[in-house]
Structure 1
Amino acid sequence: MKEIIRIGRDLIEAGEDFVVAKVIDTVGSAPRKKGAWLIMTREGKPYGTVGGGKLEAIVEDLCRETFTTKKSGSHDFSLTPADRQGIDMRCGGDAKVSIDYVDHLNPQNFEDELESEATAYIFGAGHVGKEVAKILNYIDFSTVILDDRPEFANRDRFPDVDKIVILDNFQTAFRDVQTDSDSYIIIVTRGHSGDYDVLKQALSQKSAYIGMIGSRKKKATIYKQLLADGFSETDLEKVHAPIGLRIAAETPEEIAISIAAEIIQVKESL
């Protein structure tokens, strides 16, 4: 996704119009899920994919036609071979694909889409935070590192993240952070108190995901404190703790993989 966004922005800066195709909904076993993008240049060169096979070929033809009509719209595809109206793809299912013409002089429809990009807020710039940022950046999340230690939260350690925030302390972790329904909050600070402070604030923020690192004993201790603070069991049910899928992860790299896998699972279920 980040590469597709970069290509779109480069085309706008170069004064070139282009067409964006995006999977906006799927049912059943579609090859690509909601959020898959394809950009086509005026020369007919595609970047990205909406699923491959016959679906992609049809979408690419529609993109080429859009350069002539300059009209945006959505198209429904049945991918079930048995369906007479289908396009004979063995995966089955249905897909809705939007196709938008982007005028480089007025690229508002493209810029609006960028604002809804999934963002991972990683609280903690230690070993686990460093590895989580690498993986989530690789799988096209916008990544933000937040820590109160400049010697850890810096560009030498995090050259590829989108943003680094140096906090005064974890008690005011969200003071300069505006989360939304596409936000993924990952709590991996250096200690129990930092994790508690961030989680206490995170429970009052909009988000798609909240995960906190630690043992089950640590979770029980922090949850007991949060219940005493006035939070309910229902509030705590939305937290993934201990964070990550259970894959017997031990090293920071393995833990990061388990966290990324859990986030992918949550993201695809929304």
Structure 2
Amino acid sequence: MQKLIRVGRDLIENGEDFVLAKVVETVGSTPRKRNAWMLMDKNKNFYGTVGGGKLEAEVQKHCEKVLLSKESDVYDFSLTPLEKQGIDMQCGGNASVSIEYIDHQQTKNFGCEWRGNQKACIFGGGHVGKEVEKVLSYIGFNTIILDDREEFANRERFPMAPQVRLLKDFYSAFDEISCNEDTYLVIVTRGHSWDYEVLKAALKQPSAYIGMIGSKEKNRTIFEKLLQEGFSQKDLDRVHAPIGLSIGAETPEEIAISIAGEIIKVRAGYEE
């Protein structure tokens, strides 16, 4: 994703138009899910992927047509065999792909505008938060760092994050951010009490994912307290805690990878 954004910015700076293909909706089994991107420049060079195979080949053909016509459109693909009126794939699902003509004179702030709607709010800018921001940014999330310590919420520490918020305290963590079904909440503050306060507020927000760092015992204590305060077990079932995939991660970098892996799994709708 980061490479694709850099390519787009370079093309805009060089005065070149291009085409952006983006998966906007999927049903059933598909190689990539919503917000998978592919970019084609005027020389028909491609960057990124919408899934590979026959789907990618068909999308590339449409990209070439849009580059010539300059008319954006949305195309629907049935990923089934030819005898089922599909594009000769065995996935069995359906994918809708938006193919947009990008005029270099009409697009500003390409990275922010086209990065996608998925937002990752990282509560805590410590060692783990710093590494999580790097990995989630790399896989296409708009990242927001929130911390109440100036030394952990600044541009020097997070030079590439779209937003860095210095909070008065974590009681006000959600005062200046909005959440929706494409928001991913990562709770990695410096202590149990702040994790609890952020989680309590997070459970009142719409989100695609809530993850909280900590041991099973610590999380059990927090969950019991939340149940006593009126939250339901269904509410708590939304929370991934301990956060991240169970891969034996120990260092901040390893923990960040385990968190990113779990988020990728949720975003893809993958169930074992």
- Using the size of structure 1 for normalisation, the TM-score is 0.86
Answer yes or no: is the 8 Å Cα contact 2:212–2:239 preserved in 1: yes
Answer yes or no: is the 8 Å Cα contact 1:119–1:141 preserved in 2: yes
CA RMSD of aligned residues (A): 2.7
Question: Could you say which residue in structure 1 is the equivalent of 2:212?
Answer: 212
* Aligned residues between the structures: 269
Question: Could you say which residue in structure 1 is the equivalent of 2:114?
Answer: 114
Counterparts in 2 of 1:87-102, with a 5 A limit? 87-89=87-89, 93-102=93-102
Measure how far apart 1:84 and its partner are: 5.9
Measure how far apart 1:198 and its partner are: 0.8
Answer yes or no: is the 8 Å Cα contact 1:148–1:170 preserved in 2: yes
Question: Could you say which residue in structure 2 is the equivalent of 1:137?
Answer: 137
Question: Could you say which residue in structure 2 is the equivalent of 1:187?
Answer: 187
Q: Deviations over 1:187-220 (max 9, x none)?
A: 1111111101111111122211111111222122
What secondary structure is seen at the aligned counterpart in 2 of 1:151?
helix
Answer yes or no: is the 8 Å Cα contact 1:116–1:182 preserved in 2: no
What secondary structure is seen at the aligned counterpart in 1 of 2:74?
strand
- Using the size of structure 2 for normalisation, the TM-score is 0.85
What secondary structure is seen at the aligned counterpart in 2 of 1:165?
strand
Answer yes or no: is the 8 Å Cα contact 1:77–1:95 preserved in 2: yes
Matched AA of 1:76: D
For 2:232 and 2:31, locate their aligned partners in 1 and report how far apart those are by CA, in whole Å. 40
Counterparts in 2 of 1:151-166, with a 5 A limit? 151-166=151-166
Classify 1:107/1:126 alpha carbon distance in 2 versus 1 (closer, same or farther; 3 Å).
Answer: closer
Question: Could you say which residue in structure 2 is the equivalent of 1:176?
Answer: 176
Question: Could you say which residue in structure 2 is the equivalent of 1:148?
Answer: 148
Question: Could you say which residue in structure 1 is the equivalent of 2:41?
Answer: 41
Measure how far apart 1:180 and its partner are: 2.3
Question: Could you say which residue in structure 2 is the equivalent of 1:31?
Answer: 31
- The answer to whether residue 75 in structure 2 is matched with residue 75 in structure 1 is yes
Percent identity reads 59
Answer yes or no: is the 8 Å Cα contact 1:213–1:242 preserved in 2: yes
Answer yes or no: is the 8 Å Cα contact 1:146–1:165 preserved in 2: yes
Question: Could you say which residue in structure 2 is the equivalent of 1:233?
Answer: 233
| Deviation larger for 59-68 or 12-21 | 12-21
Answer yes or no: is the 8 Å Cα contact 2:122–2:186 preserved in 1: yes
For 2:269 and 2:55, locate their aligned partners in 1 and report how far apart those are by CA, in whole Å. 23
What secondary structure is seen at the aligned counterpart in 1 of 2:143?
strand
Measure how far apart 1:147 and its partner are: 1.1
What secondary structure is seen at the aligned counterpart in 1 of 2:247?
coil
Classify 1:113/1:206 alpha carbon distance in 2 versus 1 (closer, same or farther; 3 Å).
Answer: farther
Measure how far apart 1:223 and its partner are: 1.9
Measure how far apart 1:25 and its partner are: 3.2
